[in-house]
C-alpha cells in the first residue's frame, strides 16, 4: 500500500522514496513487536496504537487514500483484511 501511495503521490526516481521507506520500516518493525501477534486485529482496531503519533498519521493518510484502491489492486487481500477486522472485533465485543 505504501508503494502504491508513493508511486502515485511522490513519484520518486527510486522506489520507495526515503520517507516511505521509513514508514515501511516502521510498520514492519512495529508489526513484529505488536503484543497481539496471532490474535491481532487490523491495526485500526488495535487497542494499543503501536505507531508514533506522527508516523501513525502518515500511515492513516496512506490507508485513507490507498485503502479504497486496494479493492482494485488486490481485491482478495482487501476483502480478507476487512473480514479479518470485522470477525475479530465482533468476537471481542461478545466477551
Ligand atoms: Zn514516497
Number of C-beta neighbours around residue 63 at 10 A: 17
pLDDT recorded at residue 5: 83
What does the mean pLDDT of the chain come to? 72
Distance, CA 58 to ligand 1 centroid (Å)? 11
Q: Which residue has the higher pLDDT, 71 or 6?
A: 6
Cα separation, 78 vs 22, in Å, equals 23
Percent of the chain's residues with pLDDT above 90:
0
Distance, CA 9 to ligand 1 centroid (Å)? 7
Distance, CA 65 to ligand 1 centroid (Å)? 13
Q: Residues within 5 Å of ion ligand 1 by Cβ?
A: 6, 10, 17, 20
pTM of the model as a whole: 0.48
For residue 65, give every residue at least 6 positions away whose Cβ sits within 8 Å of its Cβ, in sequence order, or none: 5, 9
Distance, CA 34 to ligand 1 centroid (Å)? 24
Does residue 43 carry a pLDDT above 60?
Answer: no
pLDDT recorded at residue 27: 76
Q: Which three cell numbers stand for residue 94?
A: 461478545
pLDDT recorded at residue 85: 76
Does residue 78 carry a pLDDT above 80?
Answer: no
Amino acid at each position: 500500500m505504501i508503494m502504491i501511495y508513493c508511486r502515485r503521490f511522490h513519484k520518486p526516481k527510486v522506489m520507495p522514496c526515503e520517507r516511505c521507506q521509513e514508514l515501511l520500516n516502521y510498520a514492519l518493525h512495529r508489526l513484529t513487536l505488536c503484543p497481539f501477534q496471532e490474535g491481532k486485529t487490523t491495526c485500526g482496531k488495535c487497542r494499543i496504537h503501536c505507531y508514533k503519533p506522527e508516523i501513525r498519521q502518515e500511515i492513516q493518510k496512506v490507508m485513507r487514500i490507498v485503502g479504497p484502491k486496494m479493492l482494485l489492486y488486490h481485491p482478495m487481500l482487501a476483502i480478507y483484511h476487512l473480514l479479518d477486522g470485522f470477525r475479530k472485533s465482533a468476537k471481542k465485543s461478545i466477551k
